[in-house]
Amino acid sequence: SSLSIPSDLAKTEDPDRYTVSVNGYGHMEHPVNLNADIQGMNRYFGWYEKKIQDIDAWVEGLEEKYPYEKLMLSEYGADGRYR
């Protein structure tokens, strides 16, 4: 039998260990998401997009739409400027 995603293999090897996936797309609607126990996303508020203060609304939206998912901001900044 073949395993559909790497997370399946990881769970076969160690069912008690969390699996983590990270994407650089910055939104949960992307098809690469939700294939692991914890989903990370890279965002660059205040640098490549919007202002640093806009992160609050993004986080609140994720909490509202995905209340049972384990999410994290996995990469940020890129020499971000506070505006």
Does residue 66 register a pLDDT over 80? yes
Mean pLDDT on 52-62: 93
Neighbours of 33 (CB within 10 A): 19
What is the Cα–Cα distance from 67 to 51, expressed in whole angstroms?
25
Neighbours of 16 (CB within 10 A): 5
Does residue 26 register a pLDDT over 90? no
Does residue 11 register a pLDDT over 80? yes
pLDDT at 18: 93
Neighbours of 32 (CB within 10 A): 12
DSSP H or E segment with residue 55:
helix 55-65
